Amino acid sequence: MKGTAAILDSMRRAIRKEGAVSEVRTGVRRWTWGHADLVVGEGLPHETVLDLMRACDAIVDHLSSLGPVGLVSLEAMSLGRAAISSYDVEMYPKVCPVIHFSHADASDVFRRVLEHPDELERGGSLGRRYVQELHDAQRVAARTVGIYEEAQRSRLR
């Protein structure tokens, strides 16, 4: 569903060789290419996933036709990590700092961010700000209440 096999294949093509794979612990596999690692966690408790995310420079949400910026991307950005996803760019504001990729260009995007790690740093800091401004619980609640109150006023007219 998230496209793990396609993500791994894209990394192999970006780096142009096979990575050495190891099972770090139950549910966590790591592919290593020397200068880059791809860590895949499956079936793990949420806090364990967040710990893994904190140790990464970038988080790949999904390479699929799912469409939205997923919760994984939002959590990555809230941790100050760059998020990479195949989200539908037409659904989000231009300022959305999630690094977009598709099946067609995934290996090129991986190669680019590996060659320019400053892009990941910038994505992480912009992402943190983006989440604080647009996904802060207090702000979302206030917007929701405002929409509800406006709907109630419209109904009474």
What is the distance between the alpha carbons of residues 21 and 23, in angstroms, rounded to a whole number? 7
Alpha carbon distance 88, 72 (integer Å): 15
Q: What is the pTM of this model?
A: 0.84
Number of domains in the chain: 1
Question: Using the 8-state DSSP alphabet, how is residue 98 labeled?
Answer: P
pLDDT (tens, 9 = 90+) of the chain, 157 residues, equals 688 899 988 988 898 888 788 888 899 999 988 888 999 999 999 999 999 999 999 999 999 888 889 999 999 999 999 999 999 999 998 999 999 999 999 999 999 999 999 999 999 999 999 999 888 888 889 989 999 999 998 888 7
CATH number, domain with residue 19:
3.40.50.2000
> 43 in the Ramachandran plot: left (φ > 0), alpha (ψ -120 to 50) or beta?
left
> What is the 8-class DSSP label of residue 15?
H
Side-chain-facing half-sphere of 16: CA atoms under 13 Å? 3
What contacts 24+ positions apart, CB below 8 Å, involve 31-38?
35/114, 36/11, 36/114, 38/7, 38/8, 38/11
pLDDT at 151: 92
Q: What pLDDT shows up at residue 155?
A: 85
Predicted local confidence at residue 17, as pLDDT: 81
Q: What does residue 156 show for φ and ψ, rounded to 5 degrees?
A: -80, -15
Written as six digits, the tokens of 90 are: 């037409």
Print the domain residue range for 119.
4-156
Give residue 16's pLDDT: 85
State residue 92 phi and psi, 5-degree precision: -130, 155
For 3, the 3-state DSSP assignment is coil
